[in-house]
Amino acid sequence: MRRFILVINPGSTSTKVALFEGITNLKQKNLIHFANDLLKYNKISEQYEYRENTVLSWLKEEGIETSELVAVVGRGGLLKPVPSGVYEVTDAMIEDLKVGIQGEHASNLGGIIAKSIADNEGIDAYIVDPVAVDEFEEIARISGHPELPRRSLVHALNIRAVARRIAKSIGKNLDEMNFIVAHIGGGISVAALKLGRIVDVNNANEGGPFSPERAGGVPVGDLINLAFSGKYTYGELKKKLVGQGGLVGYLGTNDIREVAAMIENGDEKAKLIMQSMAYQIAKEIGACAAVLSGRVDRIILTGGLAYSKMITDLIKNRVYFIAPIEIIPGEDEMQALAEGAFRVVNGEEKAKIYEEEV
């Protein structure tokens, strides 16, 4: 009997998988990919067969047949800008995920793997609140140059899931609330939610605060000089900014726990870098308060860094005056994906069609 929803969430070094019955998580695993296994692929999209096989092997290990699946749902990637929601994975979407229409990112594999498994069973595949969710107001799109508009690339899935949860806890719907949500993980998105819509956010890949391994916004003139210095190839420079920036660039680790240990051992540089990361996050939260004209119901800190009291205290000390602060460490992406797919399977919501929304 078909009853399980398979959830697939690909990250840069692992693929999280889970099996849900309804909205109950029955089992979940983080399938780790060794760097050597991924090295041979030039493009992330080329990893899809390898990763799909690891997902299918996991199902087998768990004694689950794909014929028992009612739907497959994956984390959505860097598609064309789309409104938030649950999307059926269509052939047009797959094409954009494969070419990486807004860039390469492991999340592009979610829809690709989901559809491949679903097609073999004649069932539907979905994605939910992809990182390409774009609810910007027009004013937010304007940068300092018409050829370089600001783009919305955001941890939409977790941000909307935790925002929904906090709204519910205060007895409101998300569309009644103004929130600032800072997803502070491997990448950082600080988003202004105006009546539930993400009306502004730093581009988590290319701007805003530096993160454990991303440079965030850097001085643009100096970056142009570096780019034309002949010192680095395009790929090397990209890696410097995404992967080898932030904590990794300064301290050689992306693990905030290691940084905290360095500080406890008296490392002054580690202390300054930690303080600076918190300073930049707080500054971005302040910017979002201006976006919302100061009408902020809650500030929410979420993502892996929110486990660190050192960092959340540093942020709180700078933004406490804006609004009450909620801390939801980690992320709830697997549950949010399953719940999105379940709403469609259960007939509570109609899946959007990508081609009709872009």
Of 203-242, which residues contact ligand ADP (CB under 6 A)?
A: 212
Q: Which is nearer to ligand ADP, 186 or 209 (CB)?
A: 186
Minimum CB separation from ligand ADP for residue 304, in Å? 2
Is residue 255 within the footprint of ligand ADP (CB under 6 A)? yes
CA distance 160 to 154: 10
Residue 348, C-beta contacts closer than 8 angstroms, at least 6 positions apart: none
Binding window for ligand ADP (CB under 6 A); candidates: 29-37, 298-306, 320-328, 337-345 = 298-306
The partner in contact with residue 105, picked from ligand LANB7ZPL, ligand ADP, none with C-beta cut-offs of 5 to 8 angstroms by kind, is: ligand LANB7ZPL
Q: Decide: 267 and 292 in contact? Cβ < 8 Å.
A: no
Is residue 279 within the footprint of ligand ADP (CB under 6 A)? no
Q: Which is nearer to ligand LANB7ZPL, 116 or 202 (CB)?
A: 202
Taking residues 136 to 175 in sequence order and writing x for each that binds ligand ADP by CB under 6 A, - otherwise, the string is ----------------------------------------
Pairing of strands 298-303, 179-184: parallel
CB atoms within 10 A of CB 148: 9
Minimum CB separation from ligand LANB7ZPL for residue 9, in Å? 9
Q: Which is nearer to ligand ADP, 80 or 316 (CB)?
A: 316
CA distance 127 to 341: 8
Is residue 304 within the footprint of ligand ADP (CB under 6 A)? yes
Eight-class DSSP state of 301: E
Q: Which is nearer to ligand ADP, 116 or 205 (CB)?
A: 205
Q: Exposed, middle or buried: residue 153 (CB in 10 Å: 0-12, 13-18, 19+)?
A: buried
Is residue 110 within the footprint of ligand ADP (CB under 6 A)? no
Minimum CB separation from ligand ADP for residue 187, in Å? 6
Q: Which is nearer to ligand LANB7ZPL, 74 or 185 (CB)?
A: 185
- Alpha carbon distances (Å) from 50 to 6, 19, 34, 54: 17, 20, 12, 7
Residue 187, C-beta contacts closer than 8 angstroms, at least 6 positions apart: 155, 204, 205, 211, 214
CA distance 206 to 202: 8
Minimum CB separation from ligand LANB7ZPL for residue 117, in Å? 21
Positions touching ligand LANB7ZPL (CB under 6 A) are: 11, 105, 131, 153, 155, 185-187, 204-205
- Alpha carbon distances (Å) from 214 to 132, 307, 314, 319: 18, 19, 20, 23
Q: Which residue is nearest to ligand ADP (CB)?
A: 304
Q: Where are the alpha helices (DSSP H) in 170-293?
A: 220-227, 234-241, 246-251, 256-264, 268-291
Is residue 257 within the footprint of ligand ADP (CB under 6 A)? yes
- Residues binding ligand ADP: number (CB under 6 A): 15
Task: Measure the CA angle with vertex 233, ends 230 and 236; round to 5°.
Answer: 125
Is residue 303 within the footprint of ligand ADP (CB under 6 A)? yes
CA distance 82 to 32: 30
The partner in contact with residue 37, picked from ligand LANB7ZPL, ligand ADP, none with C-beta cut-offs of 5 to 8 angstroms by kind, is: none
Amino acid 263 reads: I
The partner in contact with residue 76, picked from ligand LANB7ZPL, ligand ADP, none with C-beta cut-offs of 5 to 8 angstroms by kind, is: none
CB atoms within 10 A of CB 253: 16
Taking residues 4 to 23 in sequence order and writing x for each that binds ligand ADP by CB under 6 A, - otherwise, the string is -------x------------
The partner in contact with residue 110, picked from ligand LANB7ZPL, ligand ADP, none with C-beta cut-offs of 5 to 8 angstroms by kind, is: none
Q: Which residue is nearest to ligand LANB7ZPL (CB)?
A: 187
CA distance 291 to 120: 46
Q: Exposed, middle or buried: residue 211 (CB in 10 Å: 0-12, 13-18, 19+)?
A: buried
Q: Site residues (CB under 6 A) for ligand ADP? A: 11, 185-187, 212, 254-257, 303-305, 307-308, 331
